[in-house]
C-alpha cells in the first residue's frame, strides 16, 4: 500500500509527536519512582520514532522485533546510523520485555536515568536523520 505524500508526512509527525510526549511521560514516571513503567515508556518512545522512520521508508510492520531487525539491517549495518543506536534500541527492547513479563524484576534508578538519556539521544538522532533525508 502506497501512502500519499501529505498523509505520510502527517503519519510521521504523529509518530514523532508520540515519541516526544513519551519523553515527558518518562520524566514524570522517574520523578515518581515508577522504574518499571519508565523502562516500558523509554522503549516505546524509541519504537514510535522507528515507526516514523519506517513510514518514511515505506516499511510497515506491527512486530517489534521485525521493526528493530529492519532498522539494524537497513541503517546500522549499512553505516547510515552509528552502531550505538542499534545497541540502545536492543537494550531497551530486552529490558522492556523483562519488565513487562518477568516476575520480581526491579530496575535501578541510575540505570533508568541512563536509559532515559539514551532514549532522548535516540529519538533526536532519528529526527535528525528524517530531517536530513
Q: Up-side HSE of residue 86: CA atoms within 13 Å toward CB?
A: 15
For the stretch 38-80, pLDDT in tens is 999 999 999 999 999 999 999 999 899 999 999 999 999 999 9
Q: What is the mean pLDDT of residues 96-101?
A: 92
Cell, residue 56: 518514511
Can you give the pTM of this predicted structure? 0.93
Query: Cα separation of 83 and 122, whole Å?
Result: 11
Q: Report residue 10 as a C-alpha cell.
A: 502527517
Domains of the chain: 5-132 (1.20.120.330)
- Rounded CA-CA distance 36/108 in Å is 9
Amino acid at each position: 500500500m502506497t501512502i500519499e505524500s501529505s498523509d505520510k508526512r502527517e503519519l510521521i509527525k504523529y509518530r514523532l509527536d508520540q515519541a516526544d510526549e513519551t519523553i515527558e511521560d518518562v520524566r514524570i514516571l522517574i520523578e515518581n519512582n515508577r522504574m518499571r513503567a519508565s523502562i516500558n515508556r523509554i522503549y516505546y518512545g524509541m519504537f514510535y520514532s522507528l515507526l516514523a522512520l519506517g513510514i518514511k521508508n515505506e516499511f510497515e510492520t506491527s512486530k517489534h522485533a521485525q521493526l528493530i531487525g529492519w532498522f539494524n539491517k537497513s541503517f546500522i549495518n549499512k553505516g547510515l546510523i552509528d552502531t550505538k543506536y542499534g545497541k540502545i534500541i536492543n537494550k531497551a527492547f530486552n529490558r522492556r520485555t523483562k519488565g513487562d513479563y518477568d516476575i520480581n524484576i526491579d530496575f535501578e534508578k541510575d540505570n533508568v536515568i541512563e536509559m532515559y538519556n539514551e532514549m532522548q539521544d535516540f529519538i533526536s538522532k532519528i529526527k535528525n536523520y528524517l530531517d536530513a533525508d
